[in-house]
A and B are shown apart, each in its own frame.
Chain A
Amino acid sequence: MSKSGVGARAKRKEDERFLYGRGQYIGDLRFPRMREVAFVRSPVAHARLKDVVIPGHLRSSVFTARDIAGVLPLKAVSPLPGFQVSEQPPLVTDKIRQVGELIAMCVADTRAEAEDIAAQISLEYDELPAVVDMLDAQKPGCVLVHDTVKGNVYVNVAFDGDIESVAKTAPVKVTRELRTARQVMSPIECRGFIAQWDSRVNQLILHGATQFPHVVRTGLSLVLQIPEIQIRVISPDVGGGFGYKAILAGEEVCLCWLAMRVDYPVRWLEDRREMLVANANCREHYYNITAYADNSGKILGFDAKAAVDTGAYSAYPFSAAIEASQVSAILPGPYSIPVYRCNTAAVATNKAPQLPYRGVARPGVCYAMELVVDAIAREIGKEPHEVRAVNLVRPEQMPYDNITDKHFDSGDYPQLLRMAVEAIDVNAVRARQQRGEKDGRLIGLGMSIFSEQTGHGTTADGKRRVLYEQAFARLTPDGRLDIRAGIQSIGQGLETTLAQIGSECLGMDIEDIHVKLGDTEISPYSSGAWGSRGMIWAGGATARACQELADRVARIGAALLQTDLKSVVVRDNGVYGPNGNVSLRDIARAYYLAPSELPGDIDPHGLEVTGGFTPTRITGIHTGAAHATIVAVDPETGGVEILDYVVVEDAGTLVNPMIVDGQIFGGTAQGIGSALFEEMAFDKQGQPLASTLADYLLPGCPDVPNIRVFHMQTPSPYTEFGIKGVGEGGAIGPGAAIANAINDALKSLGVEICEIPVTPRRILHALSTQVRRRA
């Protein structure tokens, strides 16, 4: 291992520009004569749009669906059987399906003036009853969101099992109804795009905050009906993605359409209100679960009916099926469950389309499963971790195919659990609970453990290969390494970690390695940064390109050393042979600038390589983690304080442990948001009830405790270096662990809350309901 290679806690190369405020985001970019766009959005959730009334003097600054008629609607179609297809027009054509839906595009010299124009547009529409609740939406006779989506269900994803037989004999039966709130992803940087037409190269250039520039280009080519080669997508610095920038939506499509017709660049910068009210929705799940167990807590059968509030549209490209299909497929989690039945409906409602947020369905399924495990433990009077222990997949079973055909490549889940139990010190917490608190607060202990299928390369049902990944590496004439990948860094430090992989393969210091990302014009095709796939796939591709480059460098080095290829190694900035060495710089100089020094038969492919990678098995690499927390609950106010938080993570070989810790801290903070704060509520007319961050609460610094992270490293047999994905894990465990801890604290009062976020209001309501029930 070189000192800046795989495993080094290298400082992040990109941080210098970020820390000095020199990052370049869409909001920082200026182009000559650039104008700004504001959108007229729907004030209602469900209506027939009859007319958009534009004052005559503004006609040339306002564009509606009629103007952009040549643009095709966005259509995200899942290959899952029974998927009902719907379309999302960039601007409303006839039917409004959510508050905040795009109706008209207004362009002016400044955003304020564009908003002045938008304020003068009036809409005529006939309101329809809004479909707001995902259970009501499925009832017979409910108004339809899309005529083509019968029963308001985009797709049902089901697994069947013989639950009835288990039910007859199982001694323990636990039933719970659980909900997770609708959330709004909240990267610091909202979405934003600048579109312009470059008449010299005859190309549409879109600068945009995106996690997958190549996928955006493919999508734009489809809806704009121009060749991909005529589109260039550049993603500059991205101020947080989390899945919200792994979409293609109406705003950028409209912007591109406009840029192709005018001779100035146009920009749209999403503001926080647009993001909250109209766009970044995620997470809302419903579960009705009955688990059957024996008296040791061993789960004998697991029966679930679930629903995902998928919202008004099937978002491009991941479709309305992604979340529901994950729910059914991964609900069994890290457990060995012999009999399983689950049906999950992806439900259409008049809310913003649900988008895949860090962890996608995993935080929801982890929450549902782990609350049920704790309920089993309470039912049989055992420690929750003991119930987990008897159900976990064991290391000697690896590789293990579970009840839904998920293939666990490696890992030791019982050990993760043991480490978490020890780190949080379960016995000490139980003793403290016995003593009680002077201030009257109640202490609770909660855990969650999960298996995270990371970096999968198939459709959600695991049946079809959907992607590859490539990276490009070039040794420059001055002996430095130029790495280019089509994936984009959204804050997770890929400019450093991909350089560390280059360093590992070529024995170079990362100071001499430059990673360029996020531009379709300079990089090989990439599926992008999502699904905890970056290091597995783009890291793997970078390794393959750099390994091939190392082979070519070795051949030149051997020739210069006048020795046999077999006798040289590439390390420490050079090629080393039995009788001397030659530096990479001298090799590069010889190849590019003094080829006469080389023998005539040198490989003409040169010192640049595009390498590709796919894991040995593409159904996902399973990362495991256990979270454990101690909370104090104030029964008078419903206030919750997190006293301790432990994460034990097995993400295989860590390329940069410091960056991994950062990923876990950030994800856990977001999970704390899910557990305690974040909730986008709607009224009966489908109006979102939060339009600023004063109403939509995110955890702040005082609300996030010191998170103690422990690592196991069980290398995956299917990836380069044994890497597993880790980007999303932090966000998966907290909802379950914290909710379990609060229920543990409230246990003595006979109260259990089965909904997150667990707000003070929910706690006090549950306590007062319990008091009334007892009275």
Chain B
Amino acid sequence: MKPAVFDYVRPATLDEATRLLGEKGVFSKVVAGSQSLGPMLNLRLAQPELLVDITSIPVLTAVSEQRDYVDIGACVSHADVEDGRIPDGSRGLLALVASRIAYRAVRNRGTLGGSLAHADPAADWISVFPLLGADVIVQSRRGTRTVAAENIMVSSFITVLQPDELIRTIRVPKISARARWGFCKFNQKAGEFAHAIGGVLHDPENDRFRAVIGAIETAPIVVADAASLFGGRFGPNLDARLDKRAVLALLDEKNVRDEYNRQLLLVALKRAAKQASES
């Protein structure tokens, strides 16, 4: 379990990183916390020729708070979020999610951008940022582009990122004081990847009522108008109003056939709804 030979570079600037990634004919991978790529290298499931380590690029660990959103650098760690070292525009959701990712040792090194770019369907951020309606700002030598978080992942371990692109910033919109959220993840043991994720967000200030169903072996199901799942507007006893048939129809569309997974996903969404409507 040792990696095949590769070259390793740790550039100090974003320009240098994107230049390296843009080199023609070189199979390169971006590495940050190395909590997913590291094991894949050791198992020789990934055999890049060049690793571009982006952890010493200052802009990628920068965080800035604006009136309507918080910009979080791609190399911010799960532990930074868990411990409240970044401004929280999510009224606690991001910190709660971060605190339940894997184990503390993983959270100390693993990064938000790395998790999104890795696109493991059972990971947390790939479901949570779409729930919040976040945007992902992507950089390459060709410039920057903004991709809605829900459009980053194509399918299991596949994203819209081009080989020469890296995630620079995650732009997370703030939610209002009247907003309510619920998040539920099931795994058989603490620290394990999720078997099911359900999330619900309601923000009356901007009339947002969103839901997410994740950990389904492909990109999560993001429901922009969650009223369709709950037979109407956000309100008390939301969980009791969950339209199971509507959820199962969504799962059918994504080819989620396994009875165990379907049941867990239903319950995850139901419990997220309960948390949102009771909080």
Contacts and interface: CB of A to CB of B under 8 A. Distances in A.
A764 B2 contact: no
A700 B1 contact: no
A700 B191 contact: yes
Contacts of A697: 188-189, 192
A111 interface: yes
A638 B44 CA distance: 35
Contact of A700 (B3, B4, B5, B190): B190
A697 B264 CA distance: 19
B44 A119 contact: yes
Contacts of B103: 700
Contacts of B39: 692
A317 interface: no
A727 B261 CA distance: 39
Interface residues of B, number: 22
A512 interface: no
A692 B38 CA distance: 13
Contacts of A636: 263, 267
A727 to B, nearest CB: 26
B96 interface: no
Contacts, number: 62
Given A112-B3, A271-B1, A273-B43, A765 B188 contact: no
B193 interface: yes
Nearest to A272: B1
Nearest to A36: B2
Interface string A738-775: 00000000000000000000011100110010000000
Contacts of A110: 2
A188 interface: no
Contacts of A127: none
Contact of A703 (B4, B186, B190, B267): B190
A81 interface: no
| Interface of chain B: mostly helix, strand, loop or mixed | loop
A702 B190 CA distance: 7
Of the candidates A110, A273, A761, A765, the one having the most CB atoms from chain B within 10 angstroms of its own CB is: A761
A115 interface: yes
Nearest to B264: A637
Nearest to B5: A116
Given A273-B43, A637-B264, A692-B39, A677 B189 contact: yes
Given A637-B264, A764-B260, A765-B260, A700 B189 contact: yes
B259 interface: yes
A702 B259 contact: no
Contact of A115 (B2, B188, B191): B2
A9 to B, nearest CB: 31
A692 B186 CA distance: 20
Contacts of A272: 1
Given A677-B189, A697-B188, A112 B43 contact: no
A764 B186 CA distance: 14
A438 to B, nearest CB: 13
B7 to A, nearest CB: 14
Interface in B81-128: 103
A308 to B, nearest CB: 27
Interface in B1-33: 1-5
B4 A116 contact: yes
Interface in B43-60: 43-44
A699 interface: yes
Given A273-B1, A761-B260, A764-B263, A639 B186 contact: yes
A19 interface: no
Q: Which of the four size classes fits the interface of chain A?
A: 20 to 34
Nearest to B3: A112
Contacts of B2: 110-112, 115
A262 interface: no
Contacts of B193: 694
Nearest to A761: B260
Contacts of A639: 186, 188
A636 B2 CA distance: 42
B259 A768 contact: yes
Interface string A504-515: 000000000000
A637 B267 contact: yes
B16 to A, nearest CB: 27
Nearest to A273: B1
A701 B191 CA distance: 10
Nearest to B195: A760
A677 B188 contact: yes
A699 B263 CA distance: 24
Interface string A680-722: 0000000000011010010111110000000000000000000
A342 to B, nearest CB: 34
Interface string B237-270: 0000000000000000000000110011001000
A768 B193 CA distance: 24
Interface string A110-135: 11100110010000000000000000
B192 A702 contact: no
B9 to A, nearest CB: 19
A764 B195 CA distance: 14
Nearest to A110: B2
A116 B1 CA distance: 11
Contacts of A691: 43
A692 B192 CA distance: 12
A116 B2 CA distance: 9
B1 A764 contact: no
A143 B233 CA distance: 63
A602 to B, nearest CB: 60
Contact of B260 (A111, A694, A702, A760): A760
A644 to B, nearest CB: 19
Contacts of A692: 39, 43
A701 B104 CA distance: 13
B98 to A, nearest CB: 17
Contacts of B5: 112, 116
Given A692-B43, A700-B191, A759-B188, A764 B3 contact: no
A271 B43 CA distance: 10
A357 to B, nearest CB: 20
A699 B189 contact: yes
Contacts of B190: 700-703
Of the candidates A638, A701, A702, A765, the one having the most CB atoms from chain B within 10 angstroms of its own CB is: A638
Contacts of B191: 700
Contacts of B186: 637, 639, 760
A751 to B, nearest CB: 15
A759 B4 CA distance: 37
Given A112-B3, A273-B43, A692-B43, A765 B259 contact: yes
Contact of B192 (A273, A694, A701, A764): A694
B188 A702 contact: no
Contacts of A703: 189-190
B267 A760 contact: no
Nearest to A691: B43
Contact of B259 (A271, A273, A764): A764
Interface in B210-244: none
Contacts of B4: 112, 115-116, 119
Contacts of B1: 115, 271-273
Nearest to A698: B189
Interface string A621-661: 00000000000000011110000000000000000000000
Of the candidates B4, B43, B259, B263, the one having the most CB atoms from chain A within 10 angstroms of its own CB is: B263
Contacts of A112: 2-5
16 contacts: A115-B44, A116-B4, A119-B44, A636-B267, A637-B186, A677-B188, A691-B43, A692-B43, A697-B192, A700-B103, A701-B190, A760-B260, A760-B264, A761-B260, A764-B259, A764-B263
Given A699-B189, A760-B188, 4 more contacts: A110-B2, A638-B260, A677-B188, A700-B103
Interface of A: 110-112, 115-116, 119, 271-273, 636-639, 677, 691-692, 694, 697, 699-703, 759-761, 764-765, 768
Closest 4 CB pairs of A and B: A112-B2, A271-B1, A702-B190, A761-B260
